[in-house]
Amino acid sequence: MKSKPGAILLFIVLILFPAISWYYLSKGTSYRKEALKDLEIKEQYNTKEVSEIINIPLKGFNTLLIFPNKLSENQLEDIVNRFIKVNTFQCISTRSLPIDAKNFTIDSMSSLYSLLNKPNFALLDTLGQVRATFGDSREEINRLIRDTAVLLPYND
């Protein structure tokens, strides 16, 4: 009779736990692959030009570019606070951009806004390429949070 509980325990440790772990990890991997398909570079933008317009370096950082919108400061703060601890993440609001008087023209920011199809948010990768743009609906905000988490590298 002692061998039956031992056999059950052995089955659980050697078969059941690894099977559950494999299932969990494969679901996560397929979820991430699907999410990364949504984040493929849709169009090539001139990264240097975008970087000059906003006067902030983009390379090496995942950037969330926020255009003026009707979201409250608390809602924006909630979004930013989720990712701000990641070293390669920066959040730039067009409300508070420093202006380089040499390179800035009155319509530089509006041309960038139009170039990105008038979003409220734009998510850029570490090469400064626009991966996705988002509106301000609840569904779009949830997609923004999901896509930002997928694009950011994991740092413990």
pTM of the predicted model, to two decimals? Answer: 0.68
At 58, the amino acid letter reads L
Q: What Å distances lie between residue 14 and 7, 18, 28, 104, 133, CA to CA?
A: 10, 7, 22, 64, 46
pLDDT digits (tens, 9 = 90+) for 31-81: 888 888 888 876 666 566 666 666 677 778 888 877 766 666 677 788 888
Between CA 102 and CA 15 the distance in angstroms is 66
The CATH code that applies to domain 42-151 is 3.40.30
Q: Are 65 and 122 in contact (CB under 8 A)?
A: yes
Q: How confident is the model at residue 99 (pLDDT cuts 50, 70, 90)?
A: very low
